[in-house]
Amino acid sequence: MSFDTLGLSAELLRAISEQGYNEPTPIQRKAIPVIMQGKDVMAGAQTGTGKTAGFTLPLLQRLSTNPIKNGCRPLRALVLTPTRELAAQVGDSVKTYGRHLPLQSAVVFGGVKINPQIDKLRRGVDILVATPGRLLDHANQKTVDLSQVEILVLDEADRMLDMGFIHDIRKVLALMPANGARQNLLFSATFSAEIKQLAGRLLNNPELIEVARRNTTAEKIAQIVHPVDKNRKRELLSHMIGSNNWRQVLVFTRTKHGANRLAQQLEKDGLSAAAIHGNKSQGARTRALAAFKRGEVRVLVATDIAARGLDIDQLPHVVNFELPNVPEDYVHRIGRTGRAGNKGEAISLVCVDELKLMRDIEQLLKREIPRVVLEGYEPDPSIRAEPIQQGRFGKGQPRTQNATHNRGRSSAKRPFASRGKSGNAPARQQRRTRSGRNQVKAA
Ligand code: AMP
């Protein structure tokens, strides 16, 4: 099937062919016609499936075929994303696919100066990509008007709820035209009860589109577990990168401190490495990502929140240096590889403390991940499991993104951190964390 059959305009088809895309991905095949008809959509699509083009192309098509007549340029489409990186990437996609159309777009997120964003908004934009916190800053300063939004996209809605943005989302919704007067598109990798609740409130008679089974990992990703002692993980990682001559590896740690420390240690091992996490300035994060994409930095060490939305073409290797506390984050993490049909490899270095987390992940995936003990790195059977450390959350810790709007929630109890509780916490406790109420701000 080619893109020509989807009814997209010549300008969009030109931009698609300039990108080198030969055929639509499954999510694009399903979502584009439905969105072009103006229907609400609830789409279950993992990152890497081509979902961004899946909503951006029909959105651009609709805006360009129904132009505003009286010459003014109201904001007509809003895309909300959980992280700055994802906002930047979606913003790039909007520009890329819309480059032959007379539509203006802008991206707004926190951590950078607001004035250039205000200037841009003042000049008039048709499409705005935003993180919720900064968008509300603009709304409060009356530098953005959401009253004429025709199309709303919630991208990675599950992560937005995980990050505690539900109140901000509600405030944004209240600033927009009534539900029936706009088209709503909700994209999420997983469908928790909370997502379904949000969808119930937001969507009108939505078309349900799913391209991969719920909570499953992309099939092109080869997954493997290497059991190894905690204190030998770094050595094993350096060995694997060096001996396999991996040139571009994304490595996940659980905490910001852990990411920094690991990047420094890898540097000492002679591997160029950089860390990205919520305590780094936006500029530092963007620079590290750019250097990684250009191949100047071989290993990018990231926490979950910082890595959300990273789009690095054909990333071949993802390593879980530490398993995430929340099983769904495993799905998000390994979705960084095997994107848009490419092959990828996801490797988890698992120590005895993390066996319960591993079982939870396998339960979610409904499959076992093969375990391979590497020669010379066999785990010491005498080592007993210990509670998993969650990093430091002391006073004076710089706030994470959108913290102004999270203030009430960021002081919420941190069930694992304060008590040094194990990641082997009961499932009920972990679910509470996912709801954002008792969120662990590890990134
Ligand atoms: P996404 O899931 O939207 O983050 O997209 C993942 C990657 O797939 C991005 O690098 C896109 O540029 C790429 N992509 C999107 N659509 C296609 C397509 N039809 N053919 C090939 N690559 C695509």
Helix (H) or strand (E) holding 401: none
Judge whether residue 111 has pLDDT over 70: yes
Give CA separation, 40 vs 29, 34, 163, 177, 180, in Å: 16, 8, 24, 15, 10
Average pLDDT over residues 139-161: 94
Looking at 147-212, which runs of residues are DSSP E strands?
151-154, 183-188, 207-210
Q: How far is the CA of 49 from the centre of ligand 1 (A)?
A: 6
Ligand 1: nearest atom to the Cα of 3? 19
Q: How confident is the model at residue 314 (pLDDT cuts 50, 70, 90)?
A: low
Residue-level pLDDT at 342: 59
Helix/strand/coil for 283 = helix
What is the pTM assigned to this prediction?
A: 0.62
CA 234-237-241 angle, 5° bins: 145
For a mutational test of ligand 1's pocket, the pick from 25, 28, 156, 337, i.e. the residue with the most ligand atoms closer than 8 A to its C-beta, is 25
Residue-level pLDDT at 429: 31
Closest residue by CA, ligand 1 atom 20? 21
In the DSSP assignment, the letter for residue 354 is: G
Higher pLDDT residue, 277 or 437?
Answer: 277
325 neighbors 430 (Cβ within 8 angstroms):
yes
Residue-level pLDDT at 189: 82
Closest residue by CA, ligand 1 atom 4? 48
Judge whether residue 382 has pLDDT over 50: yes
Bridge partners for 105 per DSSP: 127
Residue-level pLDDT at 364: 85
Judge whether residue 59 has pLDDT over 90: yes
Helix/strand/coil for 276 = strand
Give the span between the Cα atoms of 85 and 90, in whole angstroms.
Answer: 9
Average pLDDT over residues 225-246: 94
Judge whether residue 215 has pLDDT over 60: no
Judge whether residue 239 has pLDDT over 90: yes
Higher pLDDT residue, 443 or 194?
Answer: 194
Ligand 1: nearest atom to the Cα of 313? 10
At position 209, the amino acid (one-letter code) is I
Give CA separation, 205 vs 28, 41, 44, 88, in Å: 20, 8, 16, 30
Q: How confident is the model at residue 174 (pLDDT cuts 50, 70, 90)?
A: very high
For a mutational test of ligand 1's pocket, the pick from 5, 52, 93, 211, i.e. the residue with the most ligand atoms closer than 8 A to its C-beta, is 52
What mean pLDDT value characterizes the chain? Answer: 82
Which residues contact residue 428 at a Cβ distance below 8 angstroms, ignoring those fewer than 6 apart?
none
Q: How far is the CA of 28 from the centre of ligand 1 (A)?
A: 10
Judge whether residue 166 has pLDDT over 80: yes
Of 129-133, 147-151, 323-327, 386-390, which gets the smallest average pLDDT? 386-390
Residue-level pLDDT at 434: 35
Judge whether residue 9 has pLDDT over 90: yes
Residue-level pLDDT at 173: 94
Higher pLDDT residue, 24 or 334?
Answer: 24
Residue (of 237, 80, 228, 229) closest to 163 by Cα position: 80
Average pLDDT over residues 182-201: 88
Bridge partners for 10 per DSSP: none
Buried b (16+ CB within 10 A) or exposed e, 219-231: eebebebbbbbbe
Judge whether residue 403 has pLDDT over 70: no
Residue (of 250, 266, 300, 251) closest to 280 by Cα position: 300
262 neighbors 301 (Cβ within 8 angstroms):
yes
Give the span between the Cα atoms of 326 and 320, in whole angstroms.
Answer: 13
Give CA separation, 265 vs 73, 271, 346, in Å: 52, 9, 21
Residue-level pLDDT at 329: 84
Which residues contact residue 34 at a Cβ distance below 8 angstroms, ignoring those fewer than 6 apart?
41, 207, 209
Q: How confident is the model at residue 107 (pLDDT cuts 50, 70, 90)?
A: very high
Give the span between the Cα atoms of 17 and 3, in whole angstroms.
Answer: 9
158 neighbors 192 (Cβ within 8 angstroms):
yes
Q: How confident is the model at residue 306 (pLDDT cuts 50, 70, 90)?
A: low
Question: Structural domains in the chain?
Answer: 3-210 (3.40.50.300), 221-365 (3.40.50.300)
Residue-level pLDDT at 430: 33
pLDDT cut 90: percent of the chain above it: 54
At position 6, the amino acid (one-letter code) is L
Higher pLDDT residue, 67 or 131?
Answer: 131
| Residue 353, ligand 1, Cβ within 6 A | no
Q: How confident is the model at residue 66 (pLDDT cuts 50, 70, 90)?
A: confident
